């Protein structure tokens, strides 16, 4: 429908992952999360997810323009 949904998903989760990673670095491991620095770790997971989405969207756009030729 014109806008590949992977773009907004990718950008948003990359943004959120950066926020989580920053928070994780500043606050360190948390007692609530059973002593783990869950913000940092989960932030990294989300970063991988977000970037993965963006790569998917970029490749999807390229395939369309190649196919159009």
Partner 1 sequence: MQPIHLAWVDYAILLAYTAFVIGIGWALRRYLKTSSDYLTSGRSIPAWVTGLAFMAANLGALELVGMAANGAQYGIATAHFYWVGAIPAMIFLAVFMMPFYYGSKARSVPEYLNMRFDYRTRCVNSISFAVMTVFASGISMDCLARLLALLLPWQFDWNIVGHHFGSYDVYLYICSGVVLVYVLKGGLTSAIYTEVLQFFMIVLGFAPVVWLGFKDVGGWDALKGKLAEVAQNPAALSLNDKSFAPDAWSSAWKPILAGSAHNPMGVNVFAMVFGLGFVLSFGYWCTNFLVVQRAMAAKDMSAARRTPLIATVPKMLFPVLVILPGMLAVALASMPSKLYRLPPMAISDTAFVQAMADLKGATPATADAAFDKISKDVGLKMNKTKLAAIIKANSVHSIADSELKIELQDAVSDNYYNGVILSLIHRYCPSGLLGLALTALLASFMSGMAGNVTAFNTIWTYDLYQAYIAPKKSDRHYFVVGQATTVVGIVLSIFCAYFASHYSNAMNIIQLVFGFVNAPLFATFLLGMFWARATSTGAFLGLVGGTLTSALFHALTLASGDVPGIKGGYLAVVQTFPSEMAQNFWLASFAFSVCFILTLVISLATQRTKSDAELKGLVYSLTPKLKDDEQHFLLRPAVLGTILLIACVILNIIFW
CA distance 61 to 67: 10
Under rule CB under 8 A, residue 25 binds partner 1: no
Under rule CB under 8 A, residue 30 binds partner 1: yes
Q: 17: closest CA among 53, 45, 52?
A: 45
Q: How far is the CB of 55 from partner 1 (least distance, A)?
A: 16
Query: Which stretches of the chain bind partner 1, using CB under 8 A?
Result: 1-3, 5, 8-9, 11-13, 15-16, 19-20, 22-24, 27, 30, 32-34, 38-39, 42-43, 45-46, 49
């Amino acid at each position: 429908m014109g806008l590949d949904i992977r773009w907004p998903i990718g950008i948003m989760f990359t943004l959120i992952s950066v926020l989580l990673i920053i928070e994780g670095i500043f606050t360190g491991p948390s007692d609530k999360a059973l002593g783990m620095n869950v913000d940092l770790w989960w932030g990294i997971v989300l970063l991988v997810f977000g970037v993965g989405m963006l790569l998917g969207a970029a490749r999807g756009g390229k395939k369309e323009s190649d196919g159009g030729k």
